[in-house]
């Protein structure tokens, strides 16, 4: 039986949307994707954390700086306050129930804030000597390198100390939560991956492995490992 994986979605103009490659990546890994509708009801979040086998926090718009006690900077983009609050609550419930979480791009940033970390609202105006983090190449094209920490979950999955990833972000994690450890950085020092110290499977990635899935064995390994962790609870 395939484990059921909850996918967070974007809300815009009375529509709920999610890029197709997220669900395709879950199917590739052996899971069954289920899009989670918008709701602020914490009882529903608790029930979802009980019923689902894993959570994929997807990409999207910017994170509201109010959530990490900052005023908005000029470089801040469009935010989705309702989505932010829902996903923070949902993430905390999945942590509480020890369910696997894979967080991608915006999801990586949101999870950090939900667990007590902080963020750069706008990398170009807040950090010097940056690489290009919003690539102009196609989504499936690797852009820059990530140095992977030895003995990390990410290293055990990829079996590489140096990987190439795509990049589509101007926000980033500044300080990771206390319960986590950095597992990958770009050559300019930006946090590209972190993971839980003692969680069954908690992995946050700043890039989009789902967009590189067809040609990239590292991306394939990430989703297979995530679904394998989710399957243990089935």
Helix %, strand %, coil % of the chain (to 5): 35, 25, 40
pLDDT in tens, the chain (234 residues): 999 999 999 887 777 778 899 999 999 999 999 999 889 999 999 999 999 999 999 999 999 999 999 999 999 999 999 999 999 999 999 999 999 999 999 999 999 999 999 999 999 999 999 999 999 999 999 999 999 999 999 999 999 999 999 999 999 999 999 999 999 999 999 999 999 999 999 999 999 999 999 999 999 999 999 999 999 864
What is the reported pLDDT for 233?
62
Q: Report CA torsion sign: 119, 88, 143, 192.
A: positive
CB-count burial class (<10 Å; 0-12, 13-18, 19+) for 55: buried
- Global pTM? 0.96
What is the reported pLDDT for 11?
80
- Contact status, residue 48 vs residue 31, Cβ threshold 8 Å: no
Q: Which residues contact 41 (CB under 8 A, 6 or more apart)?
A: none
**What angle is formed at CA 194 by the lines to CA 226 and CA 52, rounded to 5 degrees?**
35
From CA 99, how far away is CA 91, in angstroms rounded? 10
According to CATH, the topology of domain 4-231 is Rossmann fold (3.40.50)
Smallest CA-to-CA distance from 95 within 168, 216, 201, 169 is with 201
Question: Which is the catalytic residue, given 105, 108, 180, 230?
Answer: 105
pLDDT digits (tens, 9 = 90+) for 143-192: 999 999 999 999 999 999 999 999 999 999 999 999 999 999 999 999 99
What is the reported pLDDT for 38?
87
Whether 105 sits among the annotated catalytic residues: the reply is yes
What is the reported pLDDT for 17?
79
Tell me if residue 154 falls in helix, strand or coil.
helix
Whether 192 sits among the annotated catalytic residues: the reply is no
What is the reported pLDDT for 4?
98
What is the reported pLDDT for 130?
94
Question: Which is the catalytic residue, given 45, 144, 169, 208?
Answer: 208
What is the reported pLDDT for 41?
95
What is the reported pLDDT for 15?
72
Smallest CA-to-CA distance from 33 within 75, 3, 64, 69 is with 3
């Amino acid at each position: 039986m395939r484990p059921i994986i909850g996918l967070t979605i974007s809300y815009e103009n009375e529509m709920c949307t999610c890029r197709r490659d997220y669900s395709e990546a879950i199917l590739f890994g052996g899971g069954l994707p289920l899009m989670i509708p918008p709701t602020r009801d914490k009882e529903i979040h608790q029930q979802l954390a009980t019923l689902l086998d894993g959570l994929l926090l997807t990409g999207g718009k910017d994170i509201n700086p109010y959530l990490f006690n900052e005023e908005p900077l000029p470089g801040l983009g469009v935010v989705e306050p309702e989505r932010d609050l829902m996903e923070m609550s949902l993430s905390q419930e999945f942590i509480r129930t020890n369910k696997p979480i894979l967080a991608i791009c915006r999801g990586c940033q949101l999870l950090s804030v939900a667990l007590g970390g902080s963020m750069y609202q706008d990398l170009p105006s807040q950090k010097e000597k940056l690489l290009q983090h919003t690539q102009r190449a196609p989504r499936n094209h690797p852009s820059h390198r990530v140095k992977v920490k030895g003995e990390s979950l990410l290293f055990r999955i990829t079996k590489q100390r140096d990987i190439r990833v795509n990049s589509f972000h101007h926000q980033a994690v500044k300080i990771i939560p206390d319960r986590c450890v950095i597992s990958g950085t770009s050559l300019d020092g930006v946090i590209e991956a972190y993971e839980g110290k003692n969680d069954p499977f908690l992995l946050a990635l700043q890039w989009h492995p789902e967009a590189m899935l067809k040609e990239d064995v590292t991306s394939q390994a990430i989703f297979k490992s995530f679904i394998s962790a989710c399957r243990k609870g089935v």
